[in-house]
Amino acid sequence: MRSGGVPTLKDVAAAAGVSVMTASNAVNGRPRVAPATRQRVLDAVDALGYEVNLTARRLRAGRSGTIALAVPRLDHPYFGDLAARFATALAPGGRHLVLEQTGASKEGELTALSQARLQMYDGVLLSVVGLQHADVDRLQGDLPMVLLGERPMPARFDHVMLGNVEGARLATAHLLARGARRVAVVGGALDEEPGVSSTRTQGWREAHEAAGVPVDERLVLPAPALEMAEGRAAVDRALAEGLALDAVFAVTDQVAMGALAALHSHGRSVPGDVQVVGFDALSLGEHLWPALTTVDPRHDLLVEHALRLLDRRASGDRADPEHLVLPVRLLERASTR
């Protein structure tokens, strides 16, 4: 054993009575090693405490076995749930997920895509918030990358989007079909800037038009960061000012939870006085009182398609990029009649 007491592959080969090449083949799981010989080498590995350098092995093969998921925040239930789904999907193949927190900023997203980091990953799943279309268009296309996010992006990258407009339309139509006529969209936005708030407000508007119910833009209640506290404050302020509403479509489940708290504090029963629908299908929603009706954006499909596209690029496939908008479904629970 070499000085310092750290066993080497040469030590393993000597202990097993084989060549260094045979020991390497056995440790790395390569074929053409007799079962008895492989077992002898593995026994020597255990006896000597030899540590296989998986990172070096994978880098020699051109793969690290690591996928990066770059998201705005790690402490947000939505992104925590999404990260858990990706990690679970990667595990059977012996791959691992690394999380990058971007802070929803251009600088944070560019840092996650810096050359030093990219050398460690087989691919990147980037939730785009801070980067604009032109910023993304300037990115190099060498590393396999799939974009996640709700804004139009350059056609040369694979992009998976949620069914924002359709989901909002489905949620609002559900409320209108159950008698609501004053549906507030909490977390909505009237501007043209593409994103979660504006696209889901578009779906809210389209549902009203389809049902022949007039739209009152005073019912668009902003909550820019889409936080629970903002949802509560928006509904609290609207009720305090005497704005009439008989339903809430919250653009995220987090916002819906805040809206429920505000309604409760004002003595409004749900769904008796005000019906509420969220968007995201977070598991927390099932355990509220009443349980939250919500739009399921099909994160199972998002994970499936994003990894399929990433693996396709990693294999060298040069097929045309795909731009997917996922289907949605409504999960009816007790917060609507």
Domain with 240 in it: what CATH number?
3.40.50.2300
139 and 174 within one domain: no
Instruction: For 101, list phi and psi in degrees, rounded to 5.
Output: -95, 120
Q: Write down the pLDDT at residue 54.
A: 46
Residues 168, 292, single domain; the answer is yes
Q: Are both 29 and 178 inside the same structural domain?
A: no
**The pLDDT of residue 116:** 52
Instruction: Give the pLDDT of residue 8.
Output: 86
In a domain, 244, yes or no: yes
4 assigned to some structural domain:
no
Q: What is the CATH number of the domain that holds 19?
A: 1.10.260.40
Residue 335 lies inside a defined structural domain of this protein = no
The pLDDT of residue 58 is 47
DSSP SS3 for 1: coil
Q: Are residues 316 and 250 in the same domain?
A: no
> How many domains, the chain?
3
Stretches in the chain below the pLDDT threshold 70 = 1-5, 28-31, 51-63, 115-119, 140-142
Residues 289 and 168 both lie in one domain: yes
C-alpha 50/C-alpha 35 separation (Å) is 20
Instruction: Give domain status of residue 336, yes or no.
Output: no
Identify whether residues 180 and 220 lie together within a single domain: yes
313 domain-assigned: yes
Are residues 73 and 148 both part of a single domain? yes
pLDDT of residue 3: 42
In this structure, the answer to whether residues 262 and 285 fall within a common structural domain is yes
**Helical pair 35-48 and 9-16, crossing angle rounded to 10 deg:** 120
pTM: 0.80
What pLDDT does residue 55 have?
A: 46
Q: 172 and 272: one domain?
A: yes
The pLDDT tens digits of the residues spanning 153-190 come to 889 899 999 999 999 999 999 999 999 999 999 999 99
Residues 181 and 95 in one domain: no
Domain interval for residue 223: 164-296
d(CA 309, CA 307): 5
Dihedral sign of CA atoms 41, 46, 51, 55 in order: positive
pLDDT at 86: 97
Residue closest to 216 by CA, chosen among 224, 227, 205: 205
| DSSP secondary structure letters along 75-111 | SSHHHHHHHHHHHHHHGGGT-EEEEEE-TTSHHHHHH
Euclidean distance between CA atoms 4 and 97, whole angstroms:
34
Is residue 135 domain-shared with residue 183, that is, in the same domain? Answer: no
For residue 96, list its beta bridge partners.
66
Which H or E run includes 24? helix 20-27
How far is 292 from 333, CA to CA, in rounded Å?
A: 6
Q: Does residue 214 sit within a domain?
A: yes
CB 41 within 8 A of CB 16: yes
Same domain, 149 and 186: no
In a domain, 249, yes or no: yes
